[in-house]
Amino acid sequence: MTIAGVLVVLVFAGAIFGYAYVQYAGTQEKQAALAPFAPSEQNPDPSKAIPGVTVEQYKGSQHLQLPQRVAYDKNPPFGGAHDQYWAGCDGVVYGQPFRVENAVHSLEHGAVWIAYRPGAVDAAGMQALRERVEGESYMLMSPVPTLDTPIALQSWGHQLKLDRATDPRIDEFIQALRTNRFTHPEVGGTCQTLGPGAFDPDNPPPFQPGPPGPGATPVRGGGSGG
C-alpha cells in the first residue's frame, strides 16, 4: 500500500510538472512570436508589418464635452477630437455600448480598444477577447452596434478589422501599439477615471448611433498606410 501510495504521488506530480512545462513552453513560444512586434527606436511602429492595419494621422489634444459630438471619418473612430473625459481603460470590459468620443480619448493615452458587433462573435470568441482585456492596463473592450465587421481593434491612429477572435493579428496589434510611446500623443496619460463628474465606468454615457448633426466637430485623417 505504501509503494502504491508513493506511485500515485509520483504520477500526480509528473502530471503537474508536465502541465506546467507545456504551459511554460507555450508562453515562451508566444513571446518569441511577438518579439518582432515590440516597438523600439529602430522600429517605432511595428504594426505597419501587420496585414490589414489602417494607419491615419490625427491631431491630438482636441477636447470637447457633452452634448457636443464629433463627425468621425472612421467607424469605430480611432483619432481626432474627443470628449474631455477618457473612458476607463485599465482592463475594463463594458457590457453595453457607450459614447465613442470617450473611447477615443483613451486611445490618446495609449490604450487599445477592442470593439465587437453584438451577436457577431460566439461565446468562445467573446471569452478569448475578454481574456486579453480583463485586468490588463491600457485595455478596454465594448460592443459597437454599428460596426461593419465582427471585431475591430483601435489604438491612436491605427485600426485592424477582423472576422475571428482566434486571429493571431490581435496579439500582434496589442504588442505593437499598447502604450507605444511613438504612436500616441499623451504618453504617460492615465487610464484611471477622475471620479464624480467625470466618466463613470459603471454608468457610462450612452452610445449615440444616429448622425452627429450639423454642429458636430469634423474629423479627417491626414494620410493612410498599412
Is residue 128 included in any domain, yes or no?
A: yes
Residues 170 and 65 in one domain: yes
Residues 83 and 165 in one domain: yes
Is residue 40 included in any domain, yes or no?
A: no
Is residue 96 included in any domain, yes or no?
A: yes
Residues 124 and 188 in one domain: yes
Residue 225 has what pLDDT? 43
Residues 88 and 186 in one domain: yes
Q: Which residues share a beta bridge with 116?
A: 143, 151
Residues 18 and 74 in one domain: no
Is residue 168 included in any domain, yes or no?
A: yes
Residue 27 has what pLDDT? 67
Residues 29 and 66 in one domain: no
Percent of the chain clearing pLDDT 70 (strictly above): 88
Closest CA to 148 of 75, 208, 77, 73: 75
Is residue 164 included in any domain, yes or no?
A: yes
The distance between the two most distant Cα atoms of the chain, rounded to a whole number of Å, is 83
- To the nearest 10°, the Cα dihedral for 215, 216, 222, 223? -120
Amino acid (1-letter code) at residue 107: L
Q: Which domain holds residue 163?
A: 47-225
Residues 121 and 213 in one domain: yes
Residue 31 has what pLDDT? 77
**How many domains in the chain?**
2
Q: Which residues of the chain have pLDDT under 70?
A: 1, 5-6, 9-11, 13-15, 17-28, 223-226
Residue 1 has what pLDDT? 67
Residues 120 and 141 in one domain: yes
Pairing of strands 63-64, 90-93: unpaired
Residues 162 and 81 in one domain: yes
Is residue 105 included in any domain, yes or no?
A: yes
Q: Per residue in 4-38, is it b (16+ CB within 10 Å) or e — as a string?
A: eeeeeeeeeeeeeeeeeeeeeeeeeeeeeebeebe
Residues 92 and 186 in one domain: yes
Closest CA to 97 of 80, 115, 83: 115
Is residue 206 included in any domain, yes or no?
A: yes
Residues 182 and 91 in one domain: yes
Residues 79 and 27 in one domain: no
